[in-house]
Amino acid sequence: MPDRKRLALWTGCGIVLLILASWHFLDVRAGVLETGDRWLYGWYAAVCVWAGLTASGLGYVIFVRDKWKMEQIFAAASLSLGILFLFILPPLSAPDEVSHYISAYQLSSHMMGRTANAADGHVLTRVQDAFIEDLYDVMEDDGSGYRDKAGSEGGEDSGAAAHQAVVLGQELTEGTYRTIRERGLGSTGEEGTAVSYQPPVRTTPLAYVPQALGITQARVMGLGGLGLLYLGRLFNLMFFTAMGYLTIRKMPFGKEVAAGVFLLPMTLHLASSFSYDVMIISLSSYFAAVCLHLAYKAEKVHIWDVIQLALVMGVMGPCKMVYGVIAGFCLLIPVRKFGGWGKWAASAAAVLGAFGAAMVLVNRQTVAMYTEASEGYISWAEETGYTFAQLLHSPLLVLKMCYNTLMWQGEKLYSGMLGESLGNMDAVLNTPYVVILGLTAILLMLAFRKPGESIVMKMGSRIWIWFLCFLCLGALMFSMLLAWTPVTSNVINGVQGRYLLPLLPMFLLTLKNDKVVRTDCGDRPLLYLMIVMDLYVVIRIFSIVCLRVS
């Protein structure tokens, strides 16, 4: 792209962003007039200044100082945008984030050599952190269970706690911002230990190492509950950024595609939360990058390469076992690069053995619970569910449910993958559909061939990747059909678009072909457009939250 066009694009994006920020100031003003919280003006100004600095700084390294490599551009964009997402969508506002937070808290206590759990298995926290999951102090432990102070029973086996206690950020309103402002990041000085009524996630503790390190750092520094939450999220964002940097640097081609997927609104929202989806997306992408490097660039496979693949499968596999399917990416690597069938078989045994061992150690009880159950029950719906044996003997039923889900909810899965509903699956805190379409167009253009670019991936490899993606999608739907869907439902419940993010980079790489060639538009301007769209999304969400008066 000529320098004049680059300058026009950079300037034009800045002007459009400024106009949109001015427009959404009207929403912020309406919220201030309703609540009287004039400090929202200052917060909005800080958001706009950070957005402006991000747009200017990244525009400079993309359009002017264009010697930065793709992984460097990604790292700068990930941290800049991630910090905005981290504050605009505050702690515990992401899907299932409260469960991930309490799991990270548990691991932090283990790291510090402190008692992590009460006698009944619930996680112990500091008293000053209790407000995080019980904002209005309605829960108490009377020694026989968790009850709200009006007398209703709660806890792991009851829905009452969820109705009585308000978790910070779970329903994001202007009041959430007010609470954060009033409490601050510092310690309240309260001593003692409280018992969380949130059960930790049953998965490998390795999924929460970055978040737990952040929580531990906050506890050592003597920060309060909010400081603890923000540091835990920040460490998760830094882990995602580091792994994304290594992934893009490792890839022999398609670096821009990986960067595009990593900079989607949904990916950034998850990356700046406590979610263990960060571990899944990061490690699955790095696994794919290593496989592509070995298949298309490296002259031979070394022992360290096999160790890396085995470690990734051992850590990531137990988070969501269905992603074990990506081990099939190893079959893209020619056998000759291993030095013969014997070394190939030993390498395959090491990778699959690491995954199998991790599954036995971490998920043995969970697998047994579902496969050996004589009757199914879906607690959230309070209805009968399917059993593993029932589904195994009813393949047509499974196919029908999968078909219905794709036909009736396929568009929702697609837009949800990019960021249709952010926050705790909040349809109001959304990425506008016109932006969804723009992001889709950018991802496709990044995937298409540029003039003079050769196509490395053969049709056989593409078909194999499509098969693995289809198999993983089927496994995801089957698991949700078993664990989350009542028999009265016509579609599979619980399947979300964000579950497809680990597969998206490899799928997009298979779209490069000789029929469609992208001209007169480089990778970097396209990524800059995506960055500006992300900035607009967070500015707009802040203005929407200001209007949600509680």
- What's the sign of the alpha-carbon dihedral 252, 254, 256, 262? negative
- Average pLDDT for residues 377-389, to the nearest whole number? 89
Tell me how far apart the alpha carbons of residues 118 and 156 are, in angstroms, rounded to a whole number: 14
> pLDDT of 483-528, one tens digit each?
999 999 999 999 999 999 999 999 999 999 888 888 877 899 999 9
CA separation for the pair 139, 160 (Å, rounded): 10
- Alpha carbons 156 and 195: distance in angstroms, whole number: 13
Sign of the C-alpha dihedral computed for residues 400, 402, 407 and 409 taken in this order: positive
pLDDT score at 157: 43
Residue 414: predicted pLDDT = 95
Q: Is the pLDDT of residue 226 over 70?
A: yes
End-to-end Cα spacing for the chain: 49
The tens digit of pLDDT for each residue in 230-288 reads 999 999 999 999 999 999 999 999 999 999 999 999 999 999 999 999 999 999 999 99
pLDDT value of position 521: 79
* Predicted local distance difference test score (pLDDT) of residue 97: 94
How does pLDDT run across 110-169, given as a tens digit for each residue? 999 999 999 888 999 999 999 999 888 776 655 544 545 554 444 444 444 445 688 898
pLDDT at 161: 43
Tokens 């949700």 belong to: 480
Residue 405: strand, helix, or coil: helix
H helix runs in 428-522, sequence order: 433-447, 459-484, 504-509
What does the pLDDT read at residue 270?
97
Residue 160: predicted pLDDT: 40
In sequence order, the 6+-apart residues with CB closer than 8 A to the CB of 48 are 21, 539
* Domain spans of the chain, in order of start: 1-68+524-550
Instruction: Give the integer Cα–Cα distance in Å for 106 and 129.
Output: 13
Amino acid at 217: Q
pLDDT score of 119: 87
**Span 373-401, average pLDDT:** 90
Residue 367 confidence (pLDDT) above 50? yes
Question: What are 422's two structure tokens?
Answer: 């952010």
Residue 141, pLDDT score: 59
Predicted pLDDT at 159? 42
AA letter at 158: S
Return the pLDDT at 47: 97
153 versus 102: the higher-pLDDT residue is: 102
- How high does pLDDT run on average in the chain? 91
Distance in angstroms (rounded) separating the CA atoms of residues 173 and 550:
6
User: Residue 517 pairs with which residues in a beta bridge?
Assistant: 449
Q: Is the pLDDT of residue 311 over 60?
A: yes
Q: What is the pTM of this model?
A: 0.93
CA distances from 122 to 46, 213, 418 (A): 39, 20, 35
Buried b (16+ CB within 10 A) or exposed e, 425-449: ebeebbbeeebbebbeebbebbbbb
The torsion of the CA quartet 237, 241, 244, 248, rounded to 10 degrees, works out to: 160
**Contacting residues for 516 by C-beta, under 8 A, at least 6 apart:** 448, 449
Q: Give the model confidence (pLDDT) of 167-221 as tens digits.
A: 898 889 999 999 999 999 988 888 889 999 888 998 899 999 999 999 999 999 9
Measure Cα distances from 498 to 101, 177, 222, 242, 304 in Å: 19, 26, 35, 21, 31
Tokens at residue 457, please? 């991936």
Where is average pLDDT lowest: 80-94, 206-220, 299-313, 363-377?
A: 363-377
CA pair distance 439, 531, nearest whole angstrom: 10
Name the pLDDT band for 374 (thresholds 50, 70, 90).
confident
Report DSSP letters for 303-365, one per residue: HHHHHHHHHHHHHHTTTSGGGGGGGGGGGGS-GGGGTSHHHHHHHHHHHHHHHHHHHHHHHHH
Higher pLDDT, 165 or 402: 402
